[in-house]
Amino acid sequence: MQDPRVGLHMKLGFKAVSACGAILFSLMSPASAQQQVAAVPDGPSSLREVYQDWSVACSVRDKARTCSLSQDQVQQNGQRLLAVEIAGRADGSTTATLLLPFGILLDQGVTLQIDDQPPLSPQRFRTCLPTGCLAVFAIDRPVLGKLRGGSVLKLNVTTDAETPLTFPVSLHGLTAALDRMVALSAR
């Protein structure tokens, strides 16, 4: 079984390598990207499509296609502020990986809130890397349904100065990206 952090780790470490492919696929509409997949026998070895604020990426590893969707937020200076990745697993479950910046209290974790609904249970941070701190957790079907119907996911943390801080993550395009990820993973 593949560690759910592998995709995000690889994306964070090798982002520049895939930039050319990402530009090519982001210029294509989802319909033309789908036609591109059908035109190549057994599909391409990697694929990236954009659905509003979310990207779907698939690659073939060990003769198995793995797909995930993600959203990166960067500051004006180009520095990554946060990254969110959602991936389906072979057992049908869904896993989320959050990469948040340094300067937050790790003991309190990160609390997710969809729109103005009550906050979900806090999620622990698993580890920190040179690019930020990771929280990895399962997303159950009810929460996935709420995400599909929402407009913003709020990632609530406490800073090292003990002040609350919220990172808003747009959910625009999430439903289409999830549907596409499931369709591509089923092939």
Residue ranges per structural domain of the chain: 5-185
Tens digits of pLDDT across the chain (187 residues) = 444 444 444 344 333 223 323 322 332 334 434 434 433 345 667 889 999 999 999 988 777 788 999 999 999 998 899 999 999 887 888 999 999 999 999 999 999 999 999 999 999 999 999 999 999 999 999 999 999 999 999 999 999 999 999 999 999 999 999 999 988 887 6
Q: Give how far Cα 54 sits from Cα of 67, 71, 110, Å.
A: 13, 5, 21
SS3 category, 22: helix
CATH 3.40.30.10 fits 5-185, yes or no: no
181: Cβ–Cβ under 8 A, 6 or more apart, which residues?
56, 58, 67, 68, 69, 86, 87, 88
Per-residue DSSP letter, 106: S
The pTM (predicted TM-score) of the whole model is: 0.75
Structure tokens at 58: 């698939």
CA–CA separation, 85 and 45 (whole Å): 20
The kind and range of the H/E element at 156 are strand 152-158
